[in-house]
Amino acid sequence: MAATLLFVPVADVPDAWKYCAPFIQDALETTQGENDIVDVEQFCREGAWQLWALAGEQTVVGAAVTQVVKYPRKTMLELIYFGATLPREEWLAAMSNEGTLETWAKKRGCTHIMLHGRNGAERACKQHGYERWYVCMGKNLAA
What does each of the 143 residues of the chain score in pLDDT, given as a tens digit?
578 899 999 999 999 999 999 999 999 998 888 999 999 999 999 999 999 999 988 999 999 999 999 999 999 999 999 989 988 778 777 777 766 888 899 999 999 998 877 666 766 677 777 777 766 666 667 76
Q: What is the CA radius of gyration of the chain?
A: 15
CA proximity to 117, closest of 103, 128, 106? 128
In three state form, how does the secondary structure of 45-114 look? Answer: HHCCCEEEEEECCCCEEEEEEEEEEECCCCEEEEEEEEEECCCHHHHHHHHHCCCCHHHHHHHCCCCEEE
Would you identify the CATH topology of the domain 4-126? Aminopeptidase (3.40.630)
In this structure, the number of other CB atoms found within 10 A of the CB of residue 27 comes to 19
- The pTM assigned to this predicted structure is 0.86
CB 57 within 8 A of CB 1: yes
